[in-house]
Amino acid sequence: MKTVNVDLGKRSYPIHIGSGILDRSDLFQAHVRGSQVVVITNDTVSELYGERLVETINSVARTHIHTLPDGEKYKNLNAVSQIFDRLLSIPCDRRTTLVALGGGVIGDITGFAAACYLRGIPYIHVPTTLLAQVDSSIGGKTGVNHPLGKNMIGAIHQPLCVISDTRVLGTLPQRELRAGLAEVIKYGFIRDLKFFEWLENSHQSLLACDPASLSYAVEQSSRNKAEVVHEDEYESGIRAILNFGHTFGHAIEAFSRYEDYLHGEAVAIGMSMAAEFSRRLQQLSKAQAEQSIQLIKNCALPIDPPASMTPEDFHQFMSRDKKVDSGRIRFITLHQIGQAKITSSYSPEILRETIEHCIPWCSEVRAK
């Protein structure tokens, strides 16, 4: 087992990474507070791992399980309210620990319920998707969607620990695994050249779900995220580089009503657009832009925006993004592979040309 620490003073916590560690009650023993635990999960993950986890934690504290329906569409205040109903009826006091067993959706809901219940109770993440292990379970961002916007209601509430069992990734659908890989390679692009080079050589074993490669990828990604969160817990500066590819990606997700693309797939397209934008801004060399896009393709991820999306659609959806700063859309761009920067001053013409270049039918029209 490997452990990565998230260093946040009094709110510091470990991320334990290893195969089969879901069964290690000693890990829960070290972190559970109080005499009651409530595991929050969804029906898909509960079926696979619910009983096993309850058995593991039962030797440490009296453990209940609360199962929500599976899906992003249930990541709302109604789910949180249902959790409160359950906690109050058990009843649970301030020294109850919640455990999030699932992907990013369950993690975000559980963390937010923990942030609000009795003005804040402790919780532990047991992430079961690649995306949740390398990204959403680390850093304390919690929240739910509102009908008028994704992740609009939330809080920063750090967990007591993260327990990432890489063996559970074996049951993840391939498409979900690939979507998680998008967030893995993001760390190579934005701050870790050595990891980028390792990914160039290891993408096939990752796609084949090789346990050693997956463990290494989860560990290096967790380390990168932990370091960024340590530097800037509340995203007042450098943490924004984690949004590389996300401004274009969020526009694609919103345009397709969150139906056609998984988050990681939209981010993959967004990262290839951001690499092209960096090249056109003359920050990134042509060779490195091509090398970046090649890695995205090698991970079997998409690079082209939807054929029906126009440059105007991009502009409209990007202007509504949370990352808009006083009317100016901020982008994360690359100086070189392994080094990102926040860019809010750029020529709108270059942005437009980038988008036109990336939309296949636009570039065909321009070429004629």
Catalytic residues: 119, 141, 183, 225, 235, 239, 243, 246, 250, 263
3-state secondary structure the chain: CEEEEECCHHHCEEEEEECCHHHCHHHHHHHCCCCEEEEEEEHHHHHHHHHHHHHHHHCCCEEEEEEECCCHHHCCHHHHHHHHHHHHHCCCCCCEEEEEEECHHHHHHHHHHHHHHHHCCCEEEEECCHHHHHHHCCCCEEEEEECCEEEEEEEECCCCEEEEEHHHHHHCCHHHHHHHHHHHHHHHHHHCHHHHHHHHHHHHHHHCCCHHHHHHHHHHHHHHHHHHHHHCCCCCCHHHHHHCCHHHHHHHHHHCCCCCCCHHHHHHHHHHHHHHHHHHCCCCCHHHHHHHHHHHHHCCCCCCCCCCCCHHHHHHHHHCCCCEECCEECEEEEEECCEEEEECCCCHHHHHHHHHHHCHHHHHHHHC
Dihedral of alpha carbons 180, 183, 185, 187, sign:
negative
CB of 107 to ligand NAD, least distance (A): 7
Dihedral of alpha carbons 284, 290, 294, 296, sign:
positive
CB distance 62 to 37 below 8 Å:
yes
CB of 167 to ligand NAD, least distance (A): 9
What angle in degrees, to the nearest 10, is found between the helix axes of 286-298 and 193-207? 30
Q: Site residues (CB under 6 A) for ligand NAD? A: 42, 44-45, 48, 70, 72, 75, 102-106, 108, 128-129, 131-132, 135-136, 139, 141, 151, 168, 171-172, 176, 263
Q: Which is nearer to ligand NAD, 130 or 281 (CB)?
A: 130
Q: Which is nearer to ligand NAD, 191 or 279 (CB)?
A: 191
CB of 78 to ligand NAD, least distance (A): 15
Give the nearest residue (CB) to ligand NAD.
104
Q: Which is nearer to ligand NAD, 108 or 276 (CB)?
A: 108
Q: Which is nearer to ligand NAD, 213 or 283 (CB)?
A: 213
CB of 126 to ligand NAD, least distance (A): 10
Q: Which is nearer to ligand NAD, 112 or 196 (CB)?
A: 112
CB of 49 to ligand NAD, least distance (A): 7
CB of 185 to ligand NAD, least distance (A): 15
CB of 26 to ligand NAD, least distance (A): 22
Q: Which is nearer to ligand NAD, 173 or 360 (CB)?
A: 173
Q: Which is nearer to ligand NAD, 45 or 54 (CB)?
A: 45
